[in-house]
Amino acid sequence: MKKLILIFIVLLLNSYIVNSQDYWENLNTPPGIGIFSIAVNSNENIFIGISYTTGGGLYKSTDNGVSWVLLGFENEGISKIEINELGYIYVYGGPANTIYRSIDNGLTWDALYESIQGGSSMNSFPGGLLFASGGTGTYVNVIRSVDYGITWEEVLIFPSNTEYPYDIEIQNIDTIYIGTINFTGGGGVYRSVDGGDSWEHIGLTDHYVSSLAMNSSGDLFAGTRGHYSLYEGGVYVLPKGQTEWVNLKDDELVTSMVINSEDEIYIGCSTLDYFWGGVRRSIDNGQTWEDISLETMYDRDIEGLVLGPEEHLYAFEYYSPTPLYKSVNSTINSLPGNQIEKCNKTYNYPNPFSGETTIYYSFKIDNPVEVQIAIYNSQGNKIQDIILPKYFGKEQSIKWNPKELPAGIYYYELSAGSIHTFKKMVFQK
């Protein structure tokens, strides 16, 4: 009874009601496995890494979970899967936390780096940049590659041997953030503004920072799954240009966090220490939250979230008979076929894309206004200005073709009177 009352209070204070039974579909998985990691490539192929205690291995599904193919690594736990802009797959596997790479969608693998310990985080950025956690056996470190993983160098050391990088957020080739957990105190968030050559600690000391994500405005969000000395966890934000973290949500053990291209925030939550598991969502930059969990999720750890190429949300439970879920619809409310409309909206579809993408925009106005779109590369350099006809109040669109530009992350800024919107798009060749 006490648990039921607690659920009611949390939902009443922090969320509004959604029909979560219609939000999720349960995907078939190989029997008896415990999912340890997940990734989805641009073709909607799903990759799941399996815990060593349930047999290990890396599986791939090309049909939305109906069937699975074992790609190898039997009896090896796969703690992390990362897929870059070229479709290269990187995994941490085995007792030595070796980094492997496949350039043929998992058919063959090359061992790139043996890290001994670490193996909990890895992230890539277009152009060959990778950061990963690692270690020598006597200390934990962060390593960097600028050539798609062929060579690596050590860029940050945690000499205590008790502090582990749990997530890495790459804003651009210069600015990188690392969230760490130190179970003996310390830890928090580190930042580099010179591509990883030097680092500074920027706060959340003693918080167990499990996940980092950034919105299109440059605000950095951190999910925490506990604290060294306090009984707390939740979501924090470091607004762009600020130095003080702001607490947005308490009473959650956050395991994972993603932000979609419309800046909606999703967090996965653990059941450890009598907290409630499940998935929460915020559509107002973390000011309010809604619970989108299935009833069965409350008693289970949601250990991982990831967005697919059309921004469906995938979630996996830790050691569960039904471990893998996918949102029935895309999380992008304005995609074709979805019914929720916003007064002001800007998005491009498809995203990621190859060839060309279409930028859509609509907003409420009192009088016709001039519209301009500026395109920027990942370094923040403007590469194109697009002047559009006056806007009269109906949804408009324009196609954008990068032509000879390199694959990678681009940004577009739409300006129309007092309205300014900044969005991210991913170009894949």
The whole model's pTM is what?
A: 0.77
In this predicted structure, what is the pLDDT of residue 344? 59
Q: Is the predicted pLDDT of residue 409 greater than 50, yes or no?
A: yes
- In order, the DSSP letters of 103-145 are SSTTSS-EEEEE-SS--S-EEEETTTEEEEEEE-SSSEEEEEE
User: 306: Cβ–Cβ under 8 A, 6 or more apart, which residues?
Assistant: 38, 39, 40, 258, 313, 314
Coil, strand or helix: which one is 291?
strand
d(CA 93, CA 18): 38
Provide the token pair at 117. 């310990």
In this predicted structure, what is the pLDDT of residue 3? 36
- In order, the DSSP letters of 27-51 are PP--TT--EEEEEE-TT--EEEEE-
d(CA 90, CA 58): 11
> 166: phi > 0 → left, psi -120 to 50 → alpha, else beta; which?
alpha
User: 223: Cβ–Cβ under 8 A, 6 or more apart, which residues?
Assistant: 209, 210, 211, 212, 213, 234, 235, 254, 255, 256, 257, 267
Q: Is the predicted pLDDT of residue 411 greater than 50, yes or no?
A: yes
Q: Is the predicted pLDDT of residue 108 greater than 80, yes or no?
A: yes
Share of the chain above pLDDT 90, in %: 62
252 DSSP 8-state letter: -
Stretch 332-349: mean pLDDT? 57
Per domain, the residue ranges of the chain are: 15-327, 345-427
User: What distance lies between CA 158 and its chain's CA centroid?
Assistant: 24
> CATH topology of 15-327 equal to that of 345-427?
no
Most confident of 16-30, 57-71, 260-274, 314-328: 57-71
pLDDT (tens digit, 9 = 90+) per residue, 217-237?
899 999 999 999 999 899 999
d(CA 171, CA 217): 11
Q: Is the predicted pLDDT of residue 343 greater than 70, yes or no?
A: no
d(CA 223, CA 237): 9
- Phi, psi (degrees; rounded to nearest 5) at 248: -105, -30
In angstroms, what CA-CA distances link 82 with 88, 90, 139, 217? 8, 5, 23, 24
In this predicted structure, what is the pLDDT of residue 62? 97
d(CA 12, CA 8): 6
Element (H, E) at 200: strand 200-201
User: For residue 83, how many C-alpha atoms fall within 13 Å in the half-sphere facing its CB?
Assistant: 21
345-427 falls under which CATH superfamily?
Macroglobulin (MG2) domain (2.60.40.1930)
pLDDT (tens digit, 9 = 90+) per residue, 353-403?
888 898 988 877 777 888 899 998 877 788 999 988 888 777 788 899 998
15-327 falls under which CATH superfamily?
YVTN repeat-like/Quinoprotein amine dehydrogenase (2.130.10.10)
d(CA 174, CA 139): 25
Q: Is the predicted pLDDT of residue 19 greater than 70, yes or no?
A: no
In this predicted structure, what is the pLDDT of residue 377? 87
Contact 353, 428 (CB under 8 A): yes
Q: In what order do the strands lie in the sheet with 163-170?
A: 163-170, 176-182, 188-192, 200-201
d(CA 354, CA 133): 31
d(CA 101, CA 419): 44
pLDDT (tens digit, 9 = 90+) per residue, 109-165?
999 999 887 788 999 999 999 999 999 888 999 999 999 999 999 999 998 889 999
Q: What are residue 46's DSSP bridge partners? A: 40, 61
Q: Where residue 194 falls among pLDDT bands split at 50, 70, 90? A: very high
In angstroms, what CA-CA distances link 37 with 45, 46, 87, 270, 306? 14, 11, 17, 15, 10
* Closest by Cα among 130, 137, 51 to 83: 130
Peptide bond into 323 cis (omega under 30): no
Q: In what order do the strands lie in the sheet with 357-362?
A: 345-349, 357-362, 396-400
d(CA 294, CA 39): 22
Q: Is the predicted pLDDT of residue 337 greater than 60, yes or no?
A: no
For 315-321, the CB contacts below 8 A with 24+ separation are: 315/24, 315/268, 315/279, 316/35, 316/38, 316/48, 317/35, 317/277, 318/34, 318/35, 319/34, 319/51, 319/54
d(CA 311, CA 318): 22
Stretch 296-309: mean pLDDT? 91
Q: Which is higher by pLDDT, 406 or 203?
A: 203
In this predicted structure, what is the pLDDT of residue 5? 32
Q: Is the predicted pLDDT of residue 420 greater than 60, yes or no?
A: yes
